[in-house]
Amino acid sequence: MNIVITGGAGFLGTELLKALLANSPTINSIKIVDKVLLNDTLLTDTKIQSIIADITVEEDVSKIIDKDTTHVFHLAAIVSSHAEEDFELGMLVNLKATQLLLDRCREVNTSIRFVFSSSLAVFGGKLPEKIDYMTAMQPSSSYGTQKAICELLVNDYTRKGFVDAVSIRLPTICIRPGAPNKAASSFVSGIIREPLKHEKSNCPVDIHLPLWVSSPNTVIKNMIHASQIDTRLLEGFKTINLPGLQTSPKEMIACLAGAYDDSYLDLISYERDEKIEKIVSSWPKSINNEKELSIGFVKDQSFHSIFTEFVESIK
Structural domain span for residue 220 = 2-173+214-241
Same domain, 50 and 104: yes
- The type of residue at 201 is S
CATH number of the domain encompassing residue 45: 3.40.50.720
Same domain, 201 and 125: no
Q: How confident is the model at residue 314 (pLDDT cuts 50, 70, 90)?
A: confident
- Residue 178 lies inside a defined structural domain of this protein: no
CB 39 within 8 A of CB 11: no
Same domain, 129 and 206: no
CB 45 within 8 A of CB 199: no
- Residue 181 lies inside a defined structural domain of this protein: no
- Residue 295 lies inside a defined structural domain of this protein: no
* Total tally of structural domains belonging to the chain: 2
Closest CA to 166 of 116, 202, 206: 116
- Residue 270 lies inside a defined structural domain of this protein: yes
Same domain, 78 and 190: no
CA 299 to CA 242: how far, in whole Å? 8
Percent of the chain whose predicted confidence (pLDDT) is above 70? 100
Same domain, 94 and 142: yes
* Mean pLDDT, all residues of the chain: 93
Q: Is 143 a catalytic residue?
A: yes
Same domain, 87 and 198: no
Give SS3 for 29: strand
CB 119 within 8 A of CB 169: yes
- Residue 84 lies inside a defined structural domain of this protein: yes
Question: How high is the pLDDT of residue 233?
Answer: 83
* Cis peptide preceding 175, ω within 30 of 0: yes
Same domain, 118 and 228: yes
Same domain, 105 and 120: yes
Question: How high is the pLDDT of residue 235?
Answer: 76
- The type of residue at 8 is G
> Is residue 300's pLDDT more than 80?
yes
Question: How high is the pLDDT of residue 167?
Answer: 97
Widest CA span in the chain:
58
CA 157 to CA 14: how far, in whole Å? 28
Same domain, 143 and 251: no
pLDDT in tens, 182-196: 788 889 999 999 999
> Is residue 29's pLDDT more than 90?
yes
Same domain, 203 and 271: yes
Same domain, 12 and 153: yes
pLDDT in tens, 73-126: 999 999 878 888 899 999 999 999 999 999 999 999 999 999 999 999 999 888
- Residue 224 lies inside a defined structural domain of this protein: yes
pLDDT in tens, 150-165: 999 999 999 999 999 9
CATH number of the domain encompassing residue 196: 3.90.25.10
CA 247 to CA 293: how far, in whole Å? 19
In the set 143, 157, 260, 270, the catalytic residue is 143
Same domain, 28 and 84: yes
> Residue 54: how many CB atoms within 10 A of its CB?
14
- Beta bridge partner(s), residue 169: 118, 241
Give SS3 for 230: coil
- The type of residue at 198 is H
